[in-house]
Every structure is written in C-alpha cells, then in structure tokens.
Structure 1
Amino acid sequence: MTTLADYSKRGIAGMNEGSLKWLALNRNQQISNMSLSRPPAGMLNFDCSLTPVLIYLNDHKAETLSGVVAAAEAFARDNNSDDIRFLLAAGNAGIEAATNIVIESAQYKMLAWVYGVVALLCLITFRSIRTVTCIIVPLAFTSVLCQALMAWLGIGIKVATLPVIALGVGIGVDYGIYIYSRLETYLKQGLSLHDAYFSTLRSTGKAVAFTGLTLAIGVGTWVFSPIKFQADMGILLTFMFLWNMLGALVVLPALARLLVRPAPRTETAGQPATTRVAA
C-alpha cells in the first residue's frame, strides 16, 4: 500500500542524506511541507483537497475485490468526519469491483427477462402452459449446471461471460421447439407417445443431434487456445451445446410423458380412429 505519507517519509530521509533514521513523518509542519514540495503525479490535486491511497493486490478475483471493498467501507464508516472523508476510488481493481457489484445484481434480472420472453413466445405459439414447461425446464437445468461448472472451474461471472448463459438459452430453446413441434405432430396423427417419440428421433432428432454435436466440436477446439478467456468460453459453450441437445432429446420427452397425455382415441362410422393432444 502506498500513500502520500510514504512519499513524505522518503522526502524527509532524502533531505537528511538518505538516513533511514529519518524515514518517518516529522511533526514540524514546515519540514512536512518541504518533503512534499514536488509530489508524484496523481498523488495530490492542485488545491490539496484529495489524495489517493494505492493498494497493491495479489490478484483481482471476486473474493479479493469484495473483501477490499468491505474493508474500505468499514474503515470509512469508522473514520469519516467533517474534516476528512474516505471514498472508494477507481483504478483497475476499483472498476472491476464496481462491475462485479452491478453484475451480481443484474444477472438474475437478465435471466428472468430472457426466460420470461422465451416462455411468453412459446406460450403464444403452443397455447399450453404444460408445453412451455416441457421446453423451459431443460433450459433452466442447463443454466444451473453451467453456473455450477463456472464455479468449479473458477470462471467468474463478468461482463464477458454473463452473455454466455443467455446464449445457451437462445440456442437451447430452438432444439426444444423443433423436438416438441414434431412430437406434437405425430401425436395428432394418432400415434402413442412412445411411437411419436421414436418417430421424432428418427426425423428431427437426427438433425438436432447433428447440429448440437457440430457446434460443440467447433467451439470445443477453443479449449486449446493460449488465450485463457477463449479457452474458458470453449469449455462453457461446448458444455451448453451438448446439454441443451441432450435436454431436448431426453429431458423434454420425459416431461412430456408426465405432463402431456394424449386423449383416448375415438372412432366413428366410416372414419379412422383419431386422437387429441391433451394440453
């Protein structure tokens, strides 16, 4: 940590042949003024009303920054007065700490808006809350697992990493819509849920699996990048592409088995048996 007082000590020692015995603050106001006659740039403003306290950190992890902010705020509460005030300043660590505070309060709002918009559009399209549940639950499960993976790998939620979760939702909902649309079509044709599911896997399921694997393999090569951010994004995107694909192919039909039950077939004279999807 460096303050203006440290430069004053060095100035006083320098005026006394560099003797370490003088490396201290002097009670004489004139000597203190002389020691700071030429302060370093940025350590004092023109009207002498502001001076920074520079703190050097071992790292800029979220835990470190939050600890520094908490300690600075506690010190300010205990020592602020009418004559002097301690304020949180800028610098690289200060800007990152402020960014983390904003992201911490905004990430859940962002996810709520993303899932809210997706759920509303799916509700308008399918006109069924049960269908929306079948599509949204696998996405939410993937988002939770992605945040757990980020915590396990030590990847913090920052401005650059926060949109990745929203990106996973945007891509994953496509898989769910494709699978459920085809599944609903087969159910309306009179197939049982078991037969409709396997027919869906043979048609749209192949396309979804191929797309998910292709995207995962493509971004998976980022893991070998020497750029840490790109390598971390490769891990997260690969994970989300694969889990969204598996959620659409496995979890969504399982939820449909529990929530969406076809109505019993009805037969009329001269007409083939038909069925309705109970939404």
Structure 2
Amino acid sequence: MKNYLTEAKKIVPDIAGILIALASLAFVFYFGKLLNSNHTIPLSDYIQLLILIFIAGTMGTAIWGHIKNSEFSRSAAYLENSIELINRARNVLKTTEGTLTNNRVSWVTAARLITRAQHISSKISVQAHQEIFEAEHDYQRHTFGNFLKHKNKPLSEAFFCGAEFSGLSIGEAINHPSQGNGSEKWIPTRIISVIYRFFQYPQNYEDPLESSIEFENHEIQRLWNFGERGVCDYVTFRKHFRRIGNNTIQLSNGKKVRDNMTTNDINQAMLSLSGLEK
C-alpha cells in the first residue's frame, strides 16, 4: 500500500496539469460559444473577464511553482541533514586514534544519531533525493561494515562488554579490573541492533544491479581495441572455467571437458582462448 501511494504521488502534478488544461479548453470553448450567441454583453466585459482569468491562472501557476520549489528545498535539506547525522554517528564511534571504540555512551549516541537520520530521511519527498539517499546508504553500509571490526576481524563478544577486551574471552572481559562495578559499561543489545541493522541489507532490498547485463560482443571488441585485454581475457576465462572446491573445471558449450586442472593446464588453455569472443 505504501509503495502504491508513493507511485501515485509521483503522477499527481501530471494529472493536475492535464485536468487544468482540459478545464481551460472547456472554458475557452464555452466562452466562444457564449460570445457568439449572446450579443447583449459588451466585448470589453469579455476581454476583462479573460484578463482576470489569465491573471488567476498565472497566480495559480506561480503558487504551484512556489509549493514545488519549497518541497524541493525541504527535501534537499532532509537529505543533507540525514547524511550529516550518519557521518556524525560514525565519527562518534571513533577513538582519538581513529579506531573503533567500545565505549557504551558512544554507541548509545551513535544509535540515536542513526535513528534520527532514518526518521529525517523518511521525510524526503523528491524522487531524485530518495535515490541519492539510497546510494549514500549503500556507501555507508560498506563503510560501516569495514569500520565495525577489530584488526580486520569481526568484533568478539568481549568487545561489547565495554572495557578491556583484546585477546580476552567474555568471561575474562567481564571480570577484568577495567570493568568496575556492575554491568554499566556493557553495550545494550538494542543499541547494537540499531547500528548493525543500519549497515545490513534488508530482505526487501532493491538492488540496482538487478537490471545490469553481461558484456555484449561489440563491447568486448571495443575494449580489446582500446587495449583493455585483461578485462576481455577475464570475461573469456569466466565463460570457460568453473571452480568447485579446489577443483578447476574447463567448459565448452556449457559441458565439462576437463577437470582437476593445474596452474599450467589453465594457462595453456587460456592461450588458445585468449582474445575476442571464442
């Protein structure tokens, strides 16, 4: 239902324009008929009436344009501020050295900023701005996904206890002297869910790559002519080879012709396949 309303909202200006045009044509037709049949009303009165209608139409168009410009400006502001809040959320999670902090207050603040950003982004009304935000969200998913790691590895359970964690089990972390009393340093799980949910792709994610297609032959030809032969050979390699486990298989017309290929076997096979479409 929400998607239907969103799509319907896009065509409201077009429908309004068509209705206004039809109403204008109907009025002109009626006015001409009235002028032709009624000779008691002075022509000057008709002209004044037309002028008033023209002024009213101009004012209506100006008001409509002002409304659309205001909507565009508000939408642009929502876009800018939502992106800024997301960037602030990531910065809040950084230590002075630029690494990821496990400070409870920082995580709570970051979760609040992300929640605010998502609320503001829901008010973006211009389609182009919505698409820009989705593209920015894709970028932030990548950035957050790389940032929320310790030494390039997923965070350990001890990390979320909010104190010393490096090389410690969760039992060692919660009993470490840096913990202090109670569990006040532990990061709440609902806070973690806000941040992790933000950089995960949802089940209903609409991937813009779904409409992408493979290279066509004329594109491969053009790349080859411009010296991009590594790309061309890799495309050829992907068409003729598969790897299952540690077993590399060569295909021809979709059927297996060789398997358990060694490094030399692959290189020799590529010598005969290298180049344009084969």
Instruction: Normalising by structure 2, report the TM-score.
Output: 0.30
Instruction: Normalising by structure 1, report the TM-score.
Output: 0.29
